[in-house]
Amino acid sequence: MANWWRPVAKNPFDKPGLLLVANWDSDVGYAWWLMESYWAALAEDYQGQMTSILAYPSISKLPDVIEKAPISPMVVDFSRFSPGLLRTQLRFLRRHRVKVMYLSDRAPRHWFYLLYRLAGVRRILVHDHTPGLRTRPQGIKRLLKKLMNRIPAYTADACIGATEYIRERFVRVGCVPEHKCFAADNGIPLELPELQNTHERFGIPSDRKIIVTAARANRYKGAVFALEALAHMKRSQSAVGWHYLYLGDGPDRDMLLQTARKMGLENDVSFPGRVSGVTALLPQAALALHPSRGEVGYSLSILEYMLCGLPVVVPDNPSVCGATEDGKTGVIYREGDVEAAAEALAGLLNNDDARKRMGEEARKTVETRFSLTQTHHKLLDIFHRTVPKVNRHGSA
């Protein structure tokens, strides 16, 4: 094992390394665009101090944003904590004089962190984008987690939440010391593409008000619940002249189509599958429904709805409704309550003035609180507070 720490004869880089870690192939697609923007922003900011290295488990096609950034992409697998990968990882850290590691969706504490530090790493930052609720530990389990998270070598130097909800989850569920926990709220670009005719593209009658959802077609995203609420609204005739458009593919799409037919909704809903250019289609909708069972506090889709001027109907699940203000930018219903969700939808469909007012407030909220530029500033501020300036030899 001693050989693992032995320095190489010649360092290939003049400056110490900032290691950015990708968990998937370089061409995985849409899911990683936000992280790619973070990597590019960090590389630009630190290029005078450190060499930014982006470690992919595999490289097929590099995204344009990475091609244009001052980043050195390399194939080395840091996507998981595997004993079989450890030796290669440690050699890489030593060879490239990595002083800072930026990991995505990793635990705030792991024994690998100690070995990374022994290989020369000085700062480890983890950024959590994983959705959903977690059970808060109690009693001895909570005490043990608190004690273990206070062992410096085993814990990350900064735990960054994709939203304030995730930051609080680090503290309350992960028992991470609060001074190590930060939030860099997910944001989106404020520029909108050229609009498309949504009714025409999907064959929806022009007199129908579109209720839209943009999400993976699976049970976790609440699509079955959405159909139940729509069926209830149709039976009660509390609103008429509407059509539900679900933009997204996934493992349960065929099941959702069958469920819609069984509920007598086959003429009232559309599941076109994967659709490109979603934000160009949203502005012609009347409102958005996002019945997900779990997000990171809110989803990027919710921000996109809001930017396009749509009021959003969401459950009161705190991992979903964090960006929505009830009665101001949308309507929040009791999670799992089909009747309450149907009433929320009907209330907005039947009140044009309320929809317009909430949609305008939603757009303003995104512009003032959730722009991608603001997200980058928050992330860079966290790095500046956590990572000391380094010289070319890698010392602070």
Say what the pLDDT of residue 11 is: 45
Q: Inform me whether the pLDDT recorded for 383 exceeds 70.
A: yes
Q: 2-6, 41-45, 147-151: which range is least confident on average? A: 2-6
Say what the pLDDT of residue 32 is: 86
Q: Across residues 337-362, what is the average pLDDT?
A: 98
Contact in structure between 71 and 40 (CB atoms under 8 Å): yes
Q: Across residues 277-285, what is the average pLDDT?
A: 96
Angle value at C-alpha 230, between 229 and 235, nearest 5 degrees: 100
Residue 153 sits at φ, ψ, to 5 deg, of -70, -25
Give the CATH fold of the 2-187+373-386 domain: Rossmann fold (3.40.50)
- Token digits for 29? 């697609």
Per-residue pLDDT tens digits for 331-345: 999 999 999 999 999
Say what the pLDDT of residue 31 is: 65
List residues bridging with 18 in a β-sheet: 52, 100
DSSP 188: B
Helices (H), the chain: 33-46, 64-68, 83-95, 111-118, 139-148, 164-172, 198-202, 223-236, 253-262, 300-307, 338-349, 352-369, 372-386
User: For 289, what's the count of Cα atoms within 13 Å in the CB-facing half-sphere?
Assistant: 34
- The residue whose two tokens read 């470690």 is 55
Per-residue pLDDT tens digits for 193-238: 999 999 999 999 999 999 999 999 999 999 999 999 999 999 999 9
State what percent of residues in the chain have pLDDT above 90: 88
Q: Across residues 78-94, what is the average pLDDT?
A: 96
Q: Across residues 16-44, what is the average pLDDT?
A: 91
Q: Across residues 157-186, what is the average pLDDT?
A: 96
pTM of the model: 0.89
Q: 28-32, 146-150, 224-228: which range is least confident on average? A: 28-32
Quote the CA–CA distance of 341 and 292 in Å, as a whole number: 12
Contact in structure between 95 and 80 (CB atoms under 8 Å): no
Q: What residues does each domain of the chain span?
A: 2-187+373-386, 198-370
Class of domain 198-370: alpha beta
- Token digits for 46? 């630190």
- The residue whose two tokens read 């022009």 is 206
Do the two domains 2-187+373-386 and 198-370 of this chain adopt the same fold?
yes
Q: Which residue has the higher pLDDT, 224 or 396?
A: 224
Contact in structure between 45 and 78 (CB atoms under 8 Å): no
Q: Which residue has the higher pLDDT, 13 or 188?
A: 188
- pLDDT band at residue 50 under the 50/70/90 scheme: very high
Say what the pLDDT of residue 10 is: 41
Q: Across residues 142-154, what is the average pLDDT?
A: 88
Say what the pLDDT of residue 149 is: 85
Q: 139-153, 207-221, 360-374: which range is least confident on average? A: 139-153
- pLDDT band at residue 2 under the 50/70/90 scheme: very low
Q: What is the CA radius of gyration of the chain?
A: 23
